[in-house]
Amino acid sequence: MKRILALILATLMFTCLFAGCGSEEDIDGKVDEINSDVWSAQEEGKLTIGMTLYKPMNYKDDEGNLTGFETAFAKLVCRELNVEPEFVEIEWDSMGINLTASAPIGGQSSEELDATEIRVDCVWNGQPVLDGSVKDVVFSVPYLQDSQVLVVSKADKEIFEAAYNNEFIFKTFYTQGGSVASSVVKEDEFFGKDTMPMDTLTMHEALVEVSNAAKEEEEDKAEIAADNAKALEEAKAEGTEAEFVPEVFEKSDLPIAVVSKAMAREYVGEGKEFSDLAIIEGKEFAPSEIRVAFRQNSDLKDAVNAAITKLMTPAEGETESEFDKLVKKYGLEDMIIPKAE
């Protein structure tokens, strides 16, 4: 009797494995789906996009709505992929970590997590990334290009060449951590051998540092001028005016921000947030291509590449593509990559 029961159980198990549980081909198909970022995004109906906030790429308008070229471009690509975009603010120098981080556990929202714990499907930030600079990350086809520029105080712009070449004036370079600018300061001979930048979380913070340093210098000048005026009055009262020697302000530091050209022209200059700063003309570094970043082996790369190619191609009877119209809307015509002859 026991042998008969064992035989029946064995038969049932065999039937379950090969009939009820599907073929080996079916199982492989399920594994492929589980490993597919495209399949996962379409199942969830959303693509989680990492970005940082700065004009003209991703920023909040006066009503608090997220806008910008990259925001709009990502939405168009998501439309082609039949998913909704979910934008998450990250820290730029943790991009590689965000792309490979474990998915949030226990239903935590991105607002409840540390920036480096948030897992994103891609990083869409309008900033160029040097090949090999981020481990285990691959990139889409390029669609725009940008370079890095120098930003100083308005006062320092007038004396930049002389001050920069003065070995007794200390140069401080502020860059966004993990950015092309940070790499350029370390590697380009213009910045000197073994130069280490002062990294900040954002490009905006780099500009703030230079602006604050300029304000402190102006305060020092004003304090010296006030002390000189007081000392002169005292010398006059004592009858020693002829012996009075005014204190002279000596410049000791030249603070410089190295940031994206596209970003700098949105924030620096007359009528803009940093009206006390200026861009040094004729000094551009590391012309690089702007691309979307994905984790290694993600099939999202090919899907997004196909969508980008489609959006950059004019529809039949049209002279401009959707991409072209978007570039014009945000005034980025000079960032278009020249077509090969």
Closest CA to 95 of 38, 135, 145, 58: 135
In the chain, what percentage of residues exceed pLDDT 70?
79
pLDDT over threshold 60, residue 81: yes
The pLDDT, as a whole number, for residue 178 is: 82
Which of 22-31, 108-117, 265-274 has the weakest average pLDDT? Answer: 22-31
**The domain spanning residue 327 has which CATH number?**
3.40.190.10
| Single pTM value for the model | 0.79
The pLDDT, as a whole number, for residue 307 is: 97
Residues 47, 157 within the same domain: no
Residues 131, 159 within the same domain: no
Q: Could you tell me if residue 5 is inside a domain?
A: no
Q: Could you tell me if residue 24 is inside a domain?
A: no
Average pLDDT, stretch 100-125? 58
pLDDT over threshold 70, residue 127: yes
Average pLDDT, stretch 315-325? 95
The pLDDT, as a whole number, for residue 154 is: 94
Q: Could you tell me if residue 317 is inside a domain?
A: yes
Number of domains in the chain: 2
Handedness of CA 225, 231, 237, 243 (dihedral sign): negative
Q: Could you tell me if residue 156 is inside a domain?
A: yes
When pLDDT is cut at 50, 70 and 90, the band that residue 8 belongs to is: very low
Domain range for 206 is 146-288
pLDDT over threshold 50, residue 12: no
